[in-house]
Structure 1
Amino acid sequence: MSSVRVDVQWSPVAADQFLTWGSDLQLYQVQDVTPTEIVQLPRLRLGPKTAASLLSTNNDLQFIKCVSWCPGQETDPTNQLLAVGQANGKVALTTFSKVPDARGIKGREFIPKHSRPVNSLAWSTQEPQLLAAGLDKVRTDHSVIVCDVTRTSQPPTYAFDQRNSSAGDVMKPMIEFGLAETTHSVAFSLHANRTLITGMNNKHIKVFDLREGKLCATANTKAVYGICTDVHNEHRLASFVENQVSIWDLRSLERPVLYLDATKTITKLAWCPSRVGLLASLCRDSSSVRIYDILHYTHGGEDQEPAVITRSINTDSSTYISAFSWHPTHENRIITASYTGKLVDYNVHERITLNWSATSALLWTNGKKTLQQIDCQHPVYSHFDDISTAIMTRAQKKYGLHVNNLATNGEVTDDMSLRNLWTWLDAARSLVIAGNFKLPGGMPYRYQGVWSLMAIKEESLSSDIINKSWVGLEGQKPHFAKVFRCEERSRALELCSWGFESETVLNSFLSQLEAAGYHTRAAAVAVFNQRLKQAILILERGASSKKLPALNSTAMALSETEMAIEDRVAFACTYLSDIRLMEYLEKLNTQLTEEGNLDGILLTDCGTGHYTHPSARFYQRFSYRNLLDSLGLWNERAQLDVIMNDNKHAERPPQHIYLTCNFCKKGISAYIQTPGRPRNPYARFGTGSANKSKMQACPNCRKPLPRCSLCLVHMGTPSGWGSSVPKNSSGEEGVDGAPNTPTSNTTVSKRKLSNFTSWFTWCQTCRHGGHAHHLMEWFKEHTECPVTSCKCKCMSLDTVSKVASSSVSLMTK
Structure 2
Amino acid sequence: MTTGTKGEVHWSPVHDGQFVINHGSNISLYKVEKNKTSQNCIKLSTDRWATQLAVSSDDLQYMKCLAWRPLNSPDNIIAVGQANGRVLLTSFGNKTNDLVGKEFAPRHSRQCSYLAWNPLEPNLLAEGFERYKNDHCIAIWDVTAKPYTNEMPATPDRQRVSLSESGVICRPHTELGPGEGSSSFSWFTSTNKCFVTGINGKNLRIYDLRAGMETSRAQKVAMTKLVWGVCVDPQCDKRVASFFENVVAVWDTRNFDRPLVTLPQEMKPVLRIDWCPTRLGLLTTLTKESGVIKLHDIRHSSVGTDEPEPNIMERFIQPLAHENITSYSWNPKLENRLLVATPRGNLKETTVYERIALSWSAEDHVTWSCSRKTIDCSYNGKLESADISLKIRHRALSGYGLRMEQLWENAELMENEPNLKTLWMWLDSVKSLIEENKKHSQVKNGISKFVGVQHVLRGDKSELDGDSSTEHYKHFTDLEHSSPLRMYQSDVRSRALQLCGWTTEGLGSKLHSLKEDGWYERAAALALFNLDLNTTLGILSHGAEVSRASDSTSASTLNAVAMALSGYTEDPAALWQRMCMGLCRQLTDPYLRAMFAFLTGERLDYEDVLNEDGMQIQDRVAFACIFLSDIKLADYIDRLTARLTEEGDLGGILLTGLTTEGVTLLEKYVDNTGDVQSAALACISTFPSEIAKDKRVQAWIDNYCNLLDRWRLWHQRAELDNLRYCNSGLSGLSQPPSQVYVSCNFCGKSISSNNPVRQRPFPGLYGSQQTKSRISSCPGCRKPLPRCALCLMHMGTASGTQRQNQPNKTDNLPAKLTLFNTWFTWCQTCRHGGHASHILEWFRDNMECPVTGCNCKCMMLDSIGRLMNEAHS
Is contact 2:795-2:824 (8 Å) kept? yes
Give the secondary structure class of the aligned counterpart of 2:119.
coil
Partner residue in 1 for 2:184: 185
Q: Aligned-pair distance for 1:626?
A: 1.9
Q: Any gaps of 5 or more consecutive residues in structure 2? A: 152-162, 555-586, 598-608, 666-689, 841-854, 869-873
Partner residue in 2 for 1:95: 91
Partner residue in 2 for 1:621: 697
Give the secondary structure class of the aligned counterpart of 1:56.
strand
Task: Quote the Cα distance in structure 1 between the aligned partners of 2:144 and 2:457.
Answer: 108
Q: Aligned-pair distance for 1:393?
A: 5.2
Moved more, 279-288 or 486-495: 486-495
Letter in 2 for 1:216: R
Partner residue in 2 for 1:560: 612
Q: Aligned-pair distance for 1:766?
A: 9.6
> Can you list the C-alpha shifts for 1:484-515, whole angstroms capped at 9, x where unaligned?
4746555544432233537751443213542x
Task: Quote the Cα distance in structure 2 between the aligned partners of 1:394 and 1:548.
Answer: 33
Among 447, 467, 471, the alignment partner of 2:475 is 467
Partner residue in 1 for 2:575: none
Q: Aligned-pair distance for 1:415?
A: 4.0
Is contact 2:118-2:125 (8 Å) kept? yes
Give the secondary structure class of the aligned counterpart of 2:30.
strand
Partner residue in 2 for 1:72: 71
1:679 aligns with 2:764: yes
Partner residue in 1 for 2:155: none
Task: Quote the Cα distance in structure 2 between the aligned partners of 1:459 and 1:366.
Answer: 72
Among 288, 297, 301, the alignment partner of 1:284 is 288
Residues 619 and 125 (structure 1 numbering): CA distance in 2 closer, same or farther, change over 3 Å?
Answer: same
Task: Quote the Cα distance in structure 2 between the aligned partners of 1:181 and 1:765.
Answer: 60
Among 427, 432, 435, the alignment partner of 2:434 is 432
Task: Quote the Cα distance in structure 1 between the aligned partners of 2:743 and 2:184.
Answer: 71
Is contact 1:437-1:445 (8 Å) kept? no
Is contact 1:680-1:737 (8 Å) kept? no
Give the secondary structure class of the aligned counterpart of 1:463.
strand
Residues 536 and 22 (structure 1 numbering): CA distance in 2 closer, same or farther, change over 3 Å?
Answer: farther
Partner residue in 1 for 2:622: 570
Partner residue in 1 for 2:402: 401
Q: Aligned-pair distance for 1:563?
A: 1.1
Partner residue in 1 for 2:19: 18
Q: Aligned-pair distance for 1:559?
A: 0.3
Q: Aligned-pair distance for 1:129?
A: 1.4
Letter in 2 for 1:568: R
TM-score norm. by structure 2 comes to 0.68
Moved more, 422-431 or 48-57: 48-57
Q: Write out aligned runs for 1:426-575 (5 A).
A: 426-435=428-437, 443-447=445-449, 448-455=451-458, 456=463, 459-469=467-477, 482=485, 484=487, 486=489, 488=491, 491-499=495-503, 501=505, 504-514=508-518, 520-522=521-523, 524-525=525-526, 527-528=528-529, 530=533, 531-535=536-540, 537-538=542-543, 541=547, 544=552, 549=589, 551-553=591-593, 557-574=609-626
Partner residue in 1 for 2:240: 237
Is contact 1:29-1:53 (8 Å) kept? yes
Among 639, 644, 649, the alignment partner of 2:722 is 639
Q: Aligned-pair distance for 1:670?
A: 11
Is contact 2:34-2:48 (8 Å) kept? yes
Task: Quote the Cα distance in structure 1 between the aligned partners of 2:551 and 2:483.
Answer: 28
Q: Aligned-pair distance for 1:81?
A: 1.0
> Can you list the C-alpha shifts for 1:536-586, whole angstroms capped at 9, x where unaligned?
543663885999855542685220111111111233345556775555445
Residue-pair matches, total: 729
Partner residue in 2 for 1:127: 121
Partner residue in 1 for 2:80: 84
Is contact 1:438-1:445 (8 Å) kept? no
Partner residue in 2 for 1:599: 651
Q: Aligned-pair distance for 1:83?
A: 0.7
Letter in 1 for 2:183: H
Task: Quote the Cα distance in structure 1 between the aligned partners of 2:20 and 2:785.
Answer: 82
> Can you list the C-alpha shifts for 1:761-785, whole angstroms capped at 9, x where unaligned?
889999799989x99xxxxxxxxxx
Give the secondary structure class of the aligned counterpart of 2:268.
coil
Letter in 2 for 1:86: Q
Is contact 2:69-2:117 (8 Å) kept? yes
Identity %: 32
Moved more, 659-668 or 601-610: 659-668
Among 224, 228, 249, the alignment partner of 2:227 is 224
Residues 574 and 538 (structure 1 numbering): CA distance in 2 closer, same or farther, change over 3 Å?
Answer: farther
Is contact 1:696-1:705 (8 Å) kept? no
Partner residue in 2 for 1:630: 706
Letter in 2 for 1:290: K
> Can you list the C-alpha shifts for 1:41-77, whole angstroms capped at 9, x where unaligned?
4333433554433333335333432110111121x3x
Q: Aligned-pair distance for 1:240?
A: 2.2
Letter in 1 for 2:119: T
Partner residue in 1 for 2:425: 423
Is contact 1:670-1:682 (8 Å) kept? no
Letter in 1 for 2:141: C
Give the secondary structure class of the aligned counterpart of 2:6.
coil
Q: Write out aligned runs for 1:138-177 (5 A).
A: 143-151=137-145, 153-154=147-148, 170-174=168-172, 175-177=174-176
Partner residue in 1 for 2:8: 7
Partner residue in 2 for 1:264: 268
Is contact 1:358-1:630 (8 Å) kept? no
Task: Quote the Cα distance in structure 1 between the aligned partners of 2:255 and 2:726.
Answer: 66
Give the secondary structure class of the aligned counterpart of 2:21.
strand
Residues 144 and 601 (structure 1 numbering): CA distance in 2 closer, same or farther, change over 3 Å?
Answer: closer
Moved more, 332-341 or 281-290: 332-341
Residues 484 and 545 (structure 1 numbering): CA distance in 2 closer, same or farther, change over 3 Å?
Answer: same
Q: Aligned-pair distance for 1:117?
A: 3.6
Q: Aligned-pair distance for 1:467?
A: 1.8
Is contact 1:281-1:291 (8 Å) kept? yes
Partner residue in 2 for 1:338: 342
Residues 418 and 678 (structure 1 numbering): CA distance in 2 closer, same or farther, change over 3 Å?
Answer: farther
Give the secondary structure class of the aligned counterpart of 1:677.
coil
Q: Aligned-pair distance for 1:30?
A: 3.0
Q: Aligned-pair distance for 1:216?
A: 1.2
Moved more, 109-118 or 129-138: 109-118
Give the secondary structure class of the aligned counterpart of 2:40.
coil
Task: Quote the Cα distance in structure 2 between the aligned partners of 1:439 and 1:466.
Answer: 32
Task: Quote the Cα distance in structure 2 between the aligned partners of 1:251 and 1:442.
Answer: 80
Residues 90 and 424 (structure 1 numbering): CA distance in 2 closer, same or farther, change over 3 Å?
Answer: same
Partner residue in 2 for 1:725: none
Partner residue in 2 for 1:57: 55
TM-score norm. by structure 1 comes to 0.72
Task: Quote the Cα distance in structure 1 between the aligned partners of 2:725 and 2:553.
Answer: 42
The RMSD of aligned alpha carbons is 5.5
Task: Quote the Cα distance in structure 2 between the aligned partners of 1:85 and 1:332.
Answer: 29
Task: Quote the Cα distance in structure 2 between the aligned partners of 1:657 and 1:113.
Answer: 77
